[in-house]
Amino acid sequence: MKQNTARTAIVIGAGFSGLSAAISLADKGYDVTLVEKHDQTGGRARVLKEGGFSFDMGPSWYWMPEVMADFFKRHGRCIDDYLDLVRLDPSYQVIFGAHEQVDMPASFSELQKVFEHIEPGAGARLRSFMQEAEYKYNTAMSAYVSKPGLHIRELCNAEVIRSFLRMDMLQSFSSHARKFFKDERLLRIIEFPVLFLGATPERIPAMYSMMNYADIRLGTWYPVGGMYELVKAFTQLAVEMGVKLQLNTTVNSMEVNDGCITGIITDQGRFEADVIVSAADYHHTDQQLLPSGYNNYTARYWEKRVMAPSCIIYYLGVGRKLPRLRHHNLFFENDFRAHAEAIYTTPQWPEKPLFYVCCPSKTDSTVAPDGMENLFILIPTAPGLTDTPAIREQYLQYVLDKTAAFCGESFRDDIVYSRSYACSDFMSDYSAFKGNAYGLANTLGQTAFLKPSIRHKTINNLFFTGQLTVPGPGVPPAIISGQLVADHISKQKAFSHESVI
């Protein structure tokens, strides 16, 4: 057996969870190599640059800013030295038709006035709703999200037991929201954050009103230059911590011997390390990269998982400015529940979809040429659907019609750049299980220790991080996930610091 004085680690996948894990392991003294398939870091948060436009390919909402700030602080840095963050005001607008929209002001007192104007008494009830949401958020972050999800015992402590009923685990989000609000417009606003959690509001636990706290109280922020600036910040920190970046490298398989990964086989050669962390798609690693017989879960297990949505995305460069759009625009004219049912209950292409338009050029002049607009348009869809050029074109024309009706003028002839991205792209670029964009659904049966484990059951040096394990999908949870797995690895008393190679 070869003896090494330094502990070594390979992290597969340079999305936020992989970057977080690599940085955290390097901070614990590991010699870390970060292996990434693409020519840039970021994973789903990559950047697309074409014709003077800079498109964030994935995440566009900067929520829960304290998670990112705390991560940098943990590693002796200040995030303000890496990013120029601005709080958006209004945070976003919700569009109910060509002539009806609601701005969501950053000020809570101003937002109360908006709610009161729509529904008498709703302003005061919003305060009560948010008090409960704040409790759930703070409790979840301290008692649930920070746990590695390895055993039910993690939840068997006085704090968790006391909080269980107040967290509304057994009540639906829909029922909870209707205790406070009656107007359908307000309900759509309140229910919007759970659209991407993997079930209809009737099937999502009321605990997730904590996302309303993240939205309304903690605010919607924007890193000047785009969300990829956050990727660049994490990448810079990784390099500062000594992480070696191995880009343009696809992992094809793993060698297993005597209960350990002894080699990572890539298109650029073979790599070895004491510890392997997969931040790639969990299902892909488990079912395709590992040799037969070493899977952590069965194919049947994976087929029974409830997935969060996939989506169709359009990246559009428009050769002139467009009126009435904000940075974030939620087009909620159509039936919220009908769209949710099409995603979660009877998976099919939605007939009249809800959709989201991000226009960062309203805030940031660097993401588009002078006098032009940068549009990112997203339609949530069911995972596993077959997308075709005809389907992509059909929905593009639909969202262009609706957006033009709101803006008051057509801009089809002004589009100077257009690219679509859908389920099949998520599969080819990220090996995403069923082409999902947002990981596992946040149902009660897929929470905490009921999610796929961060460690392999029989391979003692293989660990997992990312949106298919704890704590779940989203940029802040991905960052926490990488940190959790690194902390767990460092606490493994049974793990030898000698090389297994």
Q: How far apart are CA 154 and CA 369, in angstroms?
A: 52
Residue 198 has pLDDT above 80, yes or no: no
Q: Given this model, what pLDDT does residue 448 score?
A: 86
Instruction: Give the span between the Cα atoms of 414 and 228, in whole angstroms.
Output: 26
Which residue has better confidence, 404 or 449? 404
The predicted structure's pLDDT at residue 161: 65
pLDDT of 343 above 90 = no
What lies within 8 Å, CB to CB, of 240 at 6+ separation is none
This prediction's pTM: 0.95
Whether residue 498 has pLDDT greater than 60: no
Helix (H) or strand (E) holding 48: strand 47-50
Question: Binning pLDDT at 50, 70 and 90, where does residue 160 land?
Answer: low
Phi-psi region of 96 (alpha: psi -120 to 50; beta: other; left: phi over 0): alpha
Q: Which pLDDT band, with edges at 50, 70 and 90, does 341 fall under?
A: confident
Q: How confident is the model at residue 5 (pLDDT cuts 50, 70, 90)?
A: low
Grade residue 147 by pLDDT with cuts at 50, 70 and 90: confident
- Tell me the residue type at 322: L
Grade residue 26 by pLDDT with cuts at 50, 70 and 90. very high
Q: What pLDDT score was predicted for residue 495? A: 43
pLDDT of residue 205: 87
Give the C-alpha separation, 12 to 10, whole Å.
Answer: 6
Q: CA separation (Å) from 254 to 10, 30, 272, 289?
A: 12, 21, 10, 6
pLDDT digits over 234-258, tens only? 999 999 999 999 999 999 999 999 9
| Nearest-10 Cα torsion for 338, 339, 345, 347 | 130
pLDDT in tens, 287-332: 999 999 999 999 999 999 999 899 999 999 999 999 999 999 999 9
The per-residue pLDDT for 277 is 98
pLDDT band for position 158 (cuts 50, 70, 90): low
Nearest CA to 24 out of 64, 61, 77 is that of 77
Give pLDDT, residue 164: 65
Confidence of residue 190 (pLDDT cuts 50, 70, 90): very high
CA distance 286 to 278: 10
pLDDT for res 478: 97
Window from 115-124, 145-154, 314-323, 355-364 with minimum mean pLDDT: 145-154
Please, which residues have CB within 8 angstroms of residue 164's CB and are 6 or more apart in sequence?
none
Amino acid symbol at 386: T
Q: Is the pLDDT of residue 496 over 50?
A: no
pLDDT-derived band at 493 (thresholds 50, 70, 90) equals: very low
Is residue 374's pLDDT more than 80?
Answer: yes
pLDDT at 4 over 70: no
Here the tokens at position 396 are: 């593009």
CA atoms within 13 A of residue 57's CA, in its CB half-sphere: 22
Q: What Cα–Cα distance (Å) separates residue 466 from each residue in 62, 218, 240, 475, 478?
A: 18, 24, 23, 10, 5
Using the predicted structure, report yes or no on whether residue 156 has a pLDDT greater than 80: no
Q: For residues 443 and 450, what is the distance between their CA atoms, to the nearest angstrom? A: 10
Confidence of residue 273 (pLDDT cuts 50, 70, 90): very high
Per-residue DSSP letter, 52? T
Q: What is the number of other CB atoms lying within 10 angstroms of the CB of residue 113?
A: 12
Is the confidence at residue 2, as pLDDT, over 50? no
The predicted pLDDT at position 87 comes to 98
Structure tokens at 29: 């003294």
Q: How far apart are CA 400 and CA 411, in angstroms?
A: 8
pLDDT of res. 154: 74
Nearest alpha-carbon partner for 349 in 304, 315, 380, 393: 380
Percent of the chain exceeding pLDDT 90 equals 82
Structure-token pair, residue 332: 């909620």
Given this model, what pLDDT does residue 332 score?
95
- The whole-number pLDDT of residue 168 equals 84
Which residue segments constitute the domains of the chain, with CATH numbers given? Answer: 8-39+247-305+438-490 (3.50.50.60), 45-106+309-435 (3.30.519.10), 107-218 (1.10.405)
Q: For 87-125, how does the pLDDT look when each residue is reduced to its tens digit (9 = 90+)? A: 999 999 999 999 999 999 999 999 999 999 999 999 999
DSSP-assigned letters across all residues of 225-284: T-THHHHHHHHHHHHHTTPEEE-S--EEEEEEETTEEEEEEETTEEE--SEEEE-S-HHH
pLDDT category at 50 given cuts 50, 70, 90 is very high
Structure-token pair, residue 414: 């002004």
pLDDT at 497: 38
User: How far is CA 265 from each of CA 7, 115, 255, 432, 500, rounded to the nearest angstrom?
Assistant: 20, 57, 8, 20, 16
Distances (CA, A) of 338 to 82, 344, 407: 42, 10, 25
